Every structure is written in structure tokens, then in C-alpha cells.
Structure 1
Amino acid sequence: MFTGFNEKTTEFLWGIRFNNSRAWFLENKQNYLDHLQAPMRELANDVWTRFTEKNKLDLGYRVARIYRDARRVRDGNLYKEHLWFSLEKDHEDWQSTPVFFFEIEPEGYMYGLGYYAATAETMKKFRARVDSNPAELERIASDLKNKKRFQIDGDEYSRKKGEKEGLLAEWYNRKTISLIASGKGHEPLYSPKFAEKLCKDFQALVPLYNFFWSLEGEQAE
């Protein structure tokens, strides 16, 4: 059961930011295990259990490892300075599918729903759906805007694929797309009640999640 992160979580995250070495990590590994890895796994499991039971969604969860892929290390930093978990469907290319996520870093935290890297084909289907039935996404976008919790995120095409007005204008020309909520500092994460809040905010994103997945069976035009 998630009992909250704590001040030692924050201390470790800032520590690895400025001391990203094997020697420092080994000296502080127990703090990592007790105050970052363990509560992250507890949070992921609690949220996954509550969220999937309520929505009957076929999701698993993944908790990131702190160790960076040695084959891709170019700056000498062996460890990630942020950690995350995701709720996702079992898929061979999860980065191109919509996932719910939570991430913690030294400065604060973020969570939401979106694609790590949507394919061009997926975004082509997205635009085709908006063109054929704009009201469907408008309803979802309006509801999310009224909740005043999430911000739309994702790189945009330098050459626009088309023009939309109103709510859909900031959605249409994205290369990939996410809805993100963020907070500075970690104090809200110290409470066990944060798991409940995360479930509640994820719940607001379920209509968009279903919209994204409904694109998978369509043909791009």
C-alpha cells in the first residue's frame, strides 16, 4: 500500500542530479530502494488496482528502472534523475500507443495521458477522425478544458497539415500528443491520499484514452 514519498525521496533525487556516479549511487542505494523505488512501485500498484477495477481496462503497469542503457550513455551519467510508471496495454511497441503515466524528478512531478512517440500513421488517422467527426473530440476537449487540470503537449508540425478553429486548433497539428498535469516540489506526494487523487485525475482522461485507442482499427486516409 502506498504510504507516500518523503523528504528522503527529494534528497535522493537532487543528490543523483549532482552526483551521478557509481560511487555515490552505491553509497546511497538503500535510500533509493527505500524512498524512491519502493513507494513508486506501491503507487503504481495501488493506482493500477483501483483504476483497472473501476474501468475494466486491459492494462498492465511498468515501473522504470533507474539504470540508463549503457549503450546510449554519452554524457557519463549512468543513472536517470527521474523515475516514472505507466499504465499500458501489452504491446510490442508501447512507445507508439497511448499510456497513462506518472513521473517524479528533482523539481517536481507530472502525470497524464499520451503517446511517448506517436507514429505518423496514428496522427494521420487522428486528423482524419477530426475531419470526419469534429464534435467527438470537441466534447472531450471541452470537458478537459473545463476541469482546468491538464495542458496539451507535443511537438507541432512546422508545416501545418490543416487549419482548425476553436478548441481543436491546438490539437490538430501535433506530431505526437499528450495531456499533462504538473506540480512543483514534492509535498503533495508525501500523502497517501495522492494515489486516490491520481486515480481521480486519470479517470477524467478515460474518454480521451478510448478515443485514441479507437484510432487503431481505422485506415489512414
Structure 2
Amino acid sequence: MAKQTTGGTGIQQSGFDFLDALKKNNNREWFNVHKDDYLRELKQIETFADGLLADLSAHDVIETPSGKQSLYRIYRDTRFSTDKTPYKTHWSGSFKRATQQRRGGYYFHIEQGNSFIGGGFWGPVADDLKKVRDDIAFDPAPLRKILNSKSFISTFGALEGEQLKKAPRGYDPGHEAADLLRFKQFLLIRRFTDEEVLSPQFRKEAGKTFAAMRPFFDYMSEVLSTDSNGL
């Protein structure tokens, strides 16, 4: 079972160990027996999330009040799922930017073999999606500049997210930015190896990754908080 963890604001091996054991014993009986192990590891993740929130708050205004309140519950909602295992086998959380003028959200996902720092727009409503597409159709250059910047490419590689197979209805299929118009989601993702996650530098790298999202978020915020008259 997981070893006792020590202090710090990073991710501990014991956090991975607990999740690994949970994957092999994903049932309520085992979880209840090991509830103290879970609570100890959860506290470590809360501390890590508190550190991320402090880093974010140095350059952004965040509505999420604490690391603890950023975390998603480990208990799965199995009501409409064919997978009836009761527990998630990863740690995750998100931070909400404050006010309607600051759009986009920050997310972290810690899972052995599948850890990443992410952000963006997972499920934009129809009106927001139209505003973004209309702006891209009018002038794709500002968004292209962000996506083609050295910092963006070195951090995220490319914009990710679900896409249509062709340009959406109402937009020119031959538009120079048809590749951007096809996006239904706008996600920025940086993946990390287990070794990188366990490194003392991980929180710093996670914070740098969040900071690298700001040009994209600033662009999207301006588009989504400005009306058709530019106000």
C-alpha cells in the first residue's frame, strides 16, 4: 500500500501508488478499508492545488477560492454509464477565471502514464462558438499569430479539441482559416511523463504552462466579451 507521504507542494510517489492500488481494487469495500490512505493522499493533492492557485493568482484573477475547492470528487457518477466502477483513478481539478470578461479555465490531471496540464473551452455554448467563428472568418491573423508563436508551439504543440469534418454551415468551405473554423472545442494541453510529474520542478512547470495560455485566453476573452459594435 502507499507509503506515508511527507510535506511539500509537489506530487508524491505515494499518490501514484494509491491510484495504482485503487485501479486494482476499484470497489467500495477496499476503499473503505483504505479511507485513511485516501484522505492522506488527498491532503497532498490539496496542498499541490493550493500552490497552483498561488502561482495563478500572481498573473490572473481566479474565482476558485482554494486548492481544496478546485478538486473534482473521486467518486464517479455511474447512473448513466456502463462502467460501474465507483471511483476515478486520477486526481484532477480546475480553476475558474473571475468575471465574464475573463474567459477560459485552467485544468490539471494527475494519472500514472496520462498526466497533463490543460485549459481552454471544453463545451462552448452555441452563441460563444459563433462569435469565435465569426471573428476567425473576419480576420484569422490574430489567432494565427498566437498559435504560430514559438512559446505556444514549444508548450502545447498545436490547438486541440473536437472538430467538424468540414467548415460549419454558413462559412465558406474554401476559407483560408477553414481548419480553425472546424473547431468545436478549443483546448490547450501539455502532457507530462511520470518522471516529470514527480520532479520537484513540476509545480513550477505547471505554473509556466498556465501562464503560457494567457495570450490565447486574452484573445478569446476579447472576442467573447465584445458585441457586434465592438463594445
Instruction: Say which of 161, 164, 168 aligns to 1:154.
Output: 161
In structure 1, the residue matched to 2:224 is: 216
Quickly say closer, same or farther: Cα 1:12–1:83, change in 2 above 3 A. same
Q: Displacement of 1:107 after TM fit?
A: 1.9
Using the size of structure 1 for normalisation, the TM-score is 0.82
Deviations 1:22-50 (A, max 9, x none): 01212222222223x22221122111112
Quickly say closer, same or farther: Cα 1:16–1:100, change in 2 above 3 A. same
Deviates most, 143-152 or 172-181:
143-152
In structure 1, what residue type is equivalent to 2:219?
F
Contiguous gaps of at least 5 residues in structure 1: none
Q: Distance in 1 between matches of 2:99 and 2:11?
A: 30
Alignment partner of 1:68 is 2:76? yes
Q: Distance in 1 between matches of 2:56 and 2:120?
A: 17
Alignment partner of 1:179 is 2:188? yes
In structure 1, the residue matched to 2:63 is: 59
In structure 2, the residue matched to 1:6 is: 12
Task: Number of aligned residue pairs: give it.
Answer: 211
Deviations 1:28-83 (A, max 9, x none): 22222223x22221122111112212x24243262111012354454221111122
In structure 2, the residue matched to 1:140 is: 146
In structure 1, what residue type is equivalent to 2:57?
T
Alignment partner of 1:84 is 2:92? yes
Higher helix share: 1
CA contact (8 A) 2:164 2:182 kept: yes
In structure 1, the residue matched to 2:3 is: none
Identity %, equivalent residues: 25
3-state DSSP of counterpart to 1:181:
strand
In structure 1, the residue matched to 2:32 is: 26
Instruction: Say which of 41, 46, 51 aligns to 1:41.
Output: 46
What is the RMSD of the two structures over their aligned residues, measured on CA atoms?
A: 2.6
Instruction: Say which of 209, 212, 223 aligns to 1:204.
Output: 212
In structure 1, what residue type is equivalent to 2:119?
L
Alignment of 1:89-168 (within 5 A): 89=97, 98-143=104-149, 147-150=153-156, 151-161=158-168, 162-165=173-176
Q: Distance in 2 between matches of 1:203 and 1:2?
A: 22
Q: Distance in 2 between matches of 1:78 and 1:163?
A: 48
Quickly say closer, same or farther: Cα 1:20–1:39, change in 2 above 3 A. same
In structure 2, what residue type is equivalent to 1:81?
T
Larger radius of gyration: 2
In structure 2, what residue type is equivalent to 1:119?
V
Contiguous gaps of at least 5 residues in structure 2: 1-6
Q: Distance in 2 between matches of 1:50 and 1:88?
A: 14
Using the size of structure 2 for normalisation, the TM-score is 0.79
